[in-house]
Amino acid sequence: MTGPTSRDALRADLAALEAATGRLLDSLEPLGDAAWREPSLLPGWTRADTAGHIARNAEALVRLVGWARTGVPSPMYASVQDRAEGIESAAALPGPQLRTLVAASAEALDAALAGLADADDEALDRLVYFGAEEPVGGPDTPARELAWARLREVEIHHVDLGLDYGPHDWPPGFVDRALAWIEARTGGTDVVGAPAEVLAWRLGRGAGPTVRAADGGDPPEPPPW
């Protein structure tokens, strides 16, 4: 069963998520419409595309919280195509409306996650799946980890917007935890450097100036994650 420690961890993740979302919305506030249509750091995506993904991700996570609380399967997306179409429709909105959508979807998710934190242990332990396609082994993500999953989305894609927020703006606690998370998925690497830059490299976001192979050479391509 899920004890107080797991429930407290979820609430701590919610507090970190609230702060990260506030920073994201502050970055989006001054953008004019032309800036929304400029390329993001994600290949082939504008800033509007990236923000649209952030908004639709929040809506999709609300569905996962519903699954956790009711036991009725409700995947994030009906299909990969449904996910793509949702992002496209959000990205087509005028800039102010898109920022409003990002804020409103985040607020709805915060409320859903707060309710999850007060739910019974069965809901917190229920397995769901994160993504547009079900993993081969079936649902594999405990609902209590959904706030952490959303925090990763917000922090990583905030950097992807290509604004005045980079890897060195990530909170150190987030960097340490995300590095441990990605290493648990893909294993360790013989690469050294500033932790935030190593994390960005591990995430496929390029190698900062301190990132080097352990032997002093250029870093290799990061493993898929």
SS (HEC) of 111-164: HHHHHHHCCCHHHHHCEECCCCCCCCCCCCEEHHHHHHHHHHHHHHHHHHCCCC
Q: Which residues contact 131 (CB under 8 A, 6 or more apart)?
A: 76
| Shared-domain flag, residues 211 and 104 | no
| Shared-domain flag, residues 103 and 186 | no
CA atoms within 13 A on the CB side of 149: 21
**46 forms bridges with which residues in the sheet?**
39
Q: Is 18 exposed, middle or buried (0-12, 13-18, 19+ CB in 10 A)?
A: middle
| Shared-domain flag, residues 198 and 173 | yes
| Shared-domain flag, residues 191 and 139 | no
Report the C-alpha gap between 204 and 137 in whole angstroms.
26
How many Cβ atoms are within 10 Å of 171's Cβ, its own excluded?
15
Q: Name the domain boundary from 140, 165, 190.
A: 165
Report the C-alpha gap between 124 and 89 in whole angstroms.
32
| Shared-domain flag, residues 141 and 187 | no
Number of domain units in the chain:
2
| Shared-domain flag, residues 47 and 136 | yes
Q: How far is CA 167 from CA 32, 49, 147, 155, 160, in A?
A: 24, 20, 20, 9, 10
| Shared-domain flag, residues 62 and 116 | yes
| Shared-domain flag, residues 77 and 112 | yes
Where do we find the tokens 């935030």?
196
Q: Encode the chain (225 residues) as per-residue pLDDT tens digits.
A: 454 578 999 999 999 999 999 999 999 999 999 999 999 999 999 999 999 999 999 999 999 999 999 999 999 999 999 999 999 999 999 999 999 999 999 999 999 999 999 999 999 999 999 999 999 999 999 999 999 999 999 999 999 999 999 999 999 999 999 999 999 999 999 999 999 999 999 999 999 999 999 999 999 999 998
| Shared-domain flag, residues 75 and 142 | yes
Instruction: Give the CATH number of the domain where residue 54 resides.
Output: 1.20.120.450
Q: Which domain holds residue 200?
A: 169-225
| Shared-domain flag, residues 95 and 182 | no
Q: Name the domain boundary from 118, 147, 165.
A: 165
Q: Name the domain boundary from 165, 192, 217.
A: 165
| Shared-domain flag, residues 180 and 212 | yes
The pLDDT tens digits for 112-150 are: 999 999 999 999 999 999 999 999 999 999 999 999 999
E-strand ranges in 40-133 read: 127-128
| Shared-domain flag, residues 17 and 66 | yes
